[in-house]
Structure 1
Amino acid sequence: MLTINVAVLLAVIVILRLRRRTEARSRSDEKMTVVIVLALGLLLAPTPFGQGIIGILEELASGVTQASR
């Protein structure tokens, strides 16, 4: 039995959609890409991988804040 992780499937779809030329995209196509990326983010957020990304982003944000002082 083959199982497909939905997050992996959405990541592949995002990569394929972002590889297309910018001029070939319509507004509805761009909106659909945003919706897919948001769904991918919601699927990854509660996972250990998603928590790791959040930790890295928090470190970057605090570094930028301290550098601007």
Structure 2
Amino acid sequence: MSSLGIRPHIKKIRGFIQRERVWREGVFRTGTLDENRKREEKLADCDAALAALDAIEQVFIPRVAQEQLPL
């Protein structure tokens, strides 16, 4: 798979994570402290996943394309 071939997959994954994050922001607004803590942890997980995808797009894919390595 070329570096260009992985971009549509990253876009789909990013969309899924963003939808999950929006959903998580909307639930448990008035929940217990434990529910709110879990919600915040899930939001942090979503943010970390989005940051990882950004790193893949900005660092890894260009490096692979530059070295013309198969992905």
Which protein is richer in helix relative to its size? Answer: 2
| Structure-2-length-normalised TM-score | 0.47
| Structure-1-length-normalised TM-score | 0.48
Higher RCO, Cα 8 Å, sep 6+: 2
